[in-house]
Structure formats: C-alpha cells, structure tokens
Amino acid sequence: MSGAEAAGIRCRPIIASAITIAATAILAVGFATTRSVAAGPEVVPSPQATEYLPSISDLMIATIQPRHELLWRAAQDGNWDFAAYELGNLHGAFGRIGRAHPTEHDISFPNMIASVTEQPFKELESAIRSKDSPAFDKAYADLTDACNSCHQALNHGVIEIRAPNRTSASDLNTNSASRN
C-alpha cells in the first residue's frame, strides 16, 4: 500500500462524517423553518404585548421635568420668548398626561393637575409677558410647590422638586439633609 492510498483511507471516514454533520444541519434548519412557518400565527405577539404604554412617571421624567428646568433657565437668561415657548409646551405636556392617564387612585388626573397648576400657570404667563423677573420667581416657586403638593398627595413625597440654581441645573432635590 502506497503512502497516498494509506492517507486516502484515513481521510475517508472524516469526509463521510463531515457530510453527515452538514446534512443534519441542513435538515435541522429546514425543520426549524417549516415549524416556524407552520406555527406562524401563534408566535406573532399580540398588539397589547408590543404596545408601549408610558407610565405617569415615564411622562414626568420625559415631558415635564426637562421643561420645568428649561423654563427656569430661560427666565434667568432674560430670554422671555423662549420662556413663553417652554411654558406653552409644559402646559401642553400636562394636558397630554391627563388624557393618557385619565384616573389615578380613582381620582380624575386631569382635574388634579388643573387644581394645583392652573393658578401658577396664569401667574407665570403674566410675569413672562411683562418680563418681570421677581414676579416670575414667585410664580415659578408656586408652580414648584404645585409639583410637590401632588407628589405628596399621591404618597410620592419622596420626589421633591425645587427651583434649579446656578450650581445645579437639576430641579430634583435628592439631598435629604437639606429637607430638614
């Protein structure tokens, strides 16, 4: 037996097993495909499962908090046009949250929003129109109190909102020491 023949004999079982593995893989893929097609209607997620429903806190952090901060910054910079713009958007965002979540703890959420924010919104609008910084600061503090009064009323007093300041643009007070 020549060296080449000996090598050929040794190679054959390896080639044969490689073909077997490949064939098994093709069959497995084919089987999986057939199965998924057959089971198609069952594996399609229901519209409820795919629909993302933002919670009140999702909307607070995405649509309310940044505008509350931007409103403050606009007024500090004396940019009254931008302040008016942010005030309008903040007002609109509260309206949309109320429509998205009509009730909270069995109480009308839009009514709850209106009862605490209506007055500060009016004061802010007039302060911005007359470019009156001290009036703005007072109305802004009233709006911030409105944020906190609702959080407290709904047992979420841990979310403490404040006016931002020059060293921190954030309106969230996470420093519990300063509460006492």
Interacting residues with ligand HEC (CB under 6 A): 56-57, 60-61, 64-65, 68, 104, 112-113, 116-117, 143, 146-147, 150-151, 154, 156, 159, 161, 171-172
CB of residue 84 vs ligand HEC: minimum separation in angstroms? 16
Q: How far is the CB of 20 from ligand HEC (least distance, A)?
A: 56
Q: Are strands 107-108 and 103-104 parallel, antiparallel or unpaired?
A: antiparallel
Read off the amino acid at residue 77: D
**Cα–Cα distance measured from residue 70 to residue 87, given in angstroms and rounded to the nearest whole number:** 9
In the complex with ligand HEC, which residue's Cβ is closer, 56 or 135? 56
Q: Which is nearer to ligand HEC, 135 or 154 (CB)?
A: 154
As measured in angstroms, the least distance from the Cβ of 171 to ligand HEC is 6
Question: Which residue, 10 or 105, is less far from ligand HEC as judged by CB?
Answer: 105
Contacts of 171 (CB under 8 A, 6+ apart): 65, 68, 69, 72, 144, 161, 162, 163, 164
Nearest residue (CB) to ligand HEC, 86 versus 171: 171
